[in-house]
Amino acid sequence: MNPLYKQSATDVVAMLRSGELSPAEALESAIMRIEEVDSKINALPIRCFERALDVAHKINMRKHRANPRSLCGLPIAVKDYNDVAGVRTTYGSPIYKNNIALCSDVTIQMLEENGANPIAKSNVPEWAGGHTFNPIYGLTRNPWNLSRSAGGSSGGSAAALASGQIWLATGNDLGGSLRTPAAFNAIVGLRPSPGVVPRGQSYQTFDTLWVEGPMGRSVADVALMLDAQCGQRIEDPLSSAHNCRSFQRAVQNPLRPHRIAFSADLGIVPVCKTVRSIVGAAISQFSQLGIDISDEIPDFSGILDSFHTLRGVLLATLKGDLLKKYQGSISSDIVKNIEAGFSVTAEQLVEAEKKRWALSTQMSNFFVHHDFLICPTTSVMPFESNQPFVKEIDGVPCKTYIDWFAITFALTMTGCPVISIPCGFTEDNLPVGLQILGQPHREDELLRFAKFLEDCLGITRRLPIDPKHNI
């Protein structure tokens, strides 16, 4: 039998539920793997092993075995933008390097109530970004090639999953913070519809750009975690009960749709030739399975400017007061983004909202004739980790430090659920991801289709991996 860390989250939870495995034994396996490999990757710099051991010994397994949504004591990693009671939360910022959370936020409370046991906090960029490094804990490396970026901002979570340190991890996603690292590390990440996973009150209550979501090594594992995450909480007025009673059961019946649309670039972003080639090969494989694939997609023109406007306003809302007090201690890129939010005019804000409104109408029309929309998850492969960001894509300059992952911004603006799954590898074994967009609040159908494609591609079987040195 494979070592426990190589088992899927679904299988490990089944063993916990049956009594074949105890929460303490699962925890011991995870700790051993973290201590074995994380010195090479730096995915989980904040560890709460003693807290997790206490939880493992005190958990009421009779209660959790009776709860079909429970993870039954499974250790998980929590992104360092989320609070876990009694554990440090830094946001990757020196301002908060000694900040200890008094209580878990709503997102983590929901998971803990459903049997998750946080074992460590995963590394993040300072406040936000697509490359995981910060002044407190440094750089997180990609286990597929330790000289490459793990992506961001959920890079620590993704790298920990790919290297087998953990079975499930939390992520969150504003403009691709969950999807980009999923693609860079060949794992699966789901950005749900706003309101599916309740959020803590450190977020702007009525914002719909930033959502919480599950990350795992397979579609089935992500479905398992979503069952434990979703639901209505009074602390989050946008949250609601999902119409799907069990995402785990849903993915047991993979879905082959009638018609999908594919675009290599959504008509608005540069995408490097290598990514186009690998994604194109996957699409050719799907077309042989009897799926009608069209190129009829909504018009995304102007939507990136609208995203930048709304993102700037959100950052100004969230961090404006902090900027007044600690400007010298905040990353210059984040300072520029916050200041850009304060400089937004009423006309720009109105135009951004009109663009988003128009795109929503187009998406409704799109789903009359199509089941899903597919495009690459990223425009580039995992880049050299000594670069702070990508400056050009096949000779096309990037205007800002986040434009290289703009292909995810556009799908954020639809308000629809999006999942990233691995679809292939470059010649030097770097992962490439595919993002699939489905109808709002139809996460079950999206997961079913993702499971169908995952079965066709067969990449999940390659995880987890041992960290690989420079190639």
Mean local confidence (pLDDT), 54-59:
98
For 273-298, the pLDDT digits (tens) are: 999 999 999 999 998 988 999 999 99
Q: Which residues pair with 141 in a beta bridge?
A: 149
Alpha-carbon distance 251 to 216, whole Å? 14
- Whether residue 284 lies inside any domain: the answer is yes
Do 311 and 170 lie in a common domain?
Answer: no
> Has residue 1 got a pLDDT over 70?
no
Domain boundary among 342, 370, 390: 342
For 8-44, the pLDDT digits (tens) are: 999 999 999 999 999 999 999 999 999 999 999 999 9
Contact 298, 356 (CB under 8 A): no
Domain containing 271: what range? 16-302+345-462
- 334-362 CB burial, b ≥16 within 10 A, e <16: bbebbebbeebeeebeeebeebbeebeee
Q: In the structure encoding, which two tokens stand for residue 430, read together?
A: 């770097």
Do 139 and 126 lie in a common domain?
Answer: yes
The confidence score (pLDDT) of residue 28 equals 98
Do 205 and 321 lie in a common domain?
Answer: no
- Whether residue 252 lies inside any domain: the answer is yes
The confidence score (pLDDT) of residue 403 equals 87
- Whether residue 94 lies inside any domain: the answer is yes
Do 285 and 311 lie in a common domain?
Answer: no
Q: How many percent of the chain have pLDDT more than 90?
A: 92
Do 117 and 188 lie in a common domain?
Answer: yes
Q: Which residues pair with 434 in a beta bridge?
A: 376, 421
Do 291 and 324 lie in a common domain?
Answer: no
Alpha-carbon distance 450 to 314, whole Å? 31
Mean local confidence (pLDDT), 417-430:
97
Do 66 and 193 lie in a common domain?
Answer: yes
The confidence score (pLDDT) of residue 469 equals 79
CATH number of residue 423's parent domain: 3.90.1300.10
Domain boundary among 294, 311, 342: 342
- Whether residue 468 lies inside any domain: the answer is no
Angle at the Cα of 83 (from 242 to 10), degrees rounded to 5? 50
Do 90 and 161 lie in a common domain?
Answer: yes
Among residues 8, 104, 149, 153, which one is catalytic? 153
For 26-35, the pLDDT digits (tens) are: 999 999 999 9
For 135-164, the pLDDT digits (tens) are: 999 999 999 999 999 999 999 999 999 999
The confidence score (pLDDT) of residue 399 equals 85
Long-range contacts of 323-327 (CB under 8 A, 24+ apart): 326/95
For 295-330, the pLDDT digits (tens) are: 999 999 999 999 999 999 999 999 999 999 998 888
Contact 175, 408 (CB under 8 A): yes
Q: Taking all residues of the chain, what is their mean pLDDT, rounded to a whole number?
A: 96
For 437-465, the pLDDT digits (tens) are: 999 999 999 999 999 999 999 999 999 99
- Whether residue 328 lies inside any domain: the answer is yes
Do 332 and 385 lie in a common domain?
Answer: no
Domain boundary among 284, 318, 342: 342
- Give 136's DSSP letter: T
The confidence score (pLDDT) of residue 55 equals 98
Cis peptide before 125 (omega within 30 of 0): no
Among residues 104, 177, 263, 331, which one is catalytic? 177
> Has residue 402 got a pLDDT over 90?
no
- Whether residue 398 lies inside any domain: the answer is yes
Q: Look at residues 410, 355, 356, 352 and name the one whose alpha carbon lies nearest to residue 379.
A: 410
- Whether residue 136 lies inside any domain: the answer is yes
Among residues 29, 79, 104, 121, which one is catalytic? 79
For 328-371, the pLDDT digits (tens) are: 888 888 999 899 999 999 999 999 999 999 999 999 999 999 99
For 91-136, the pLDDT digits (tens) are: 999 999 999 999 999 999 999 999 999 999 999 999 989 999 999 9
> Has residue 470 got a pLDDT over 70?
no
* 358 SS3 class: helix
- Split into its structural domains, the chain has a count of 2
The confidence score (pLDDT) of residue 87 equals 98
- Whether residue 226 lies inside any domain: the answer is yes
Is 284 tagged catalytic? Answer: no
Do 65 and 168 lie in a common domain?
Answer: yes
Is 70 tagged catalytic? Answer: no
Contact 169, 157 (CB under 8 A): yes
- Helix extents (H) in 19-105: 23-41, 49-58, 61-65
- Beta strand pairing call for 133-134 and 138-139: antiparallel
Is 79 tagged catalytic? Answer: yes
Do 291 and 332 lie in a common domain?
Answer: no
Do 389 and 455 lie in a common domain?
Answer: yes
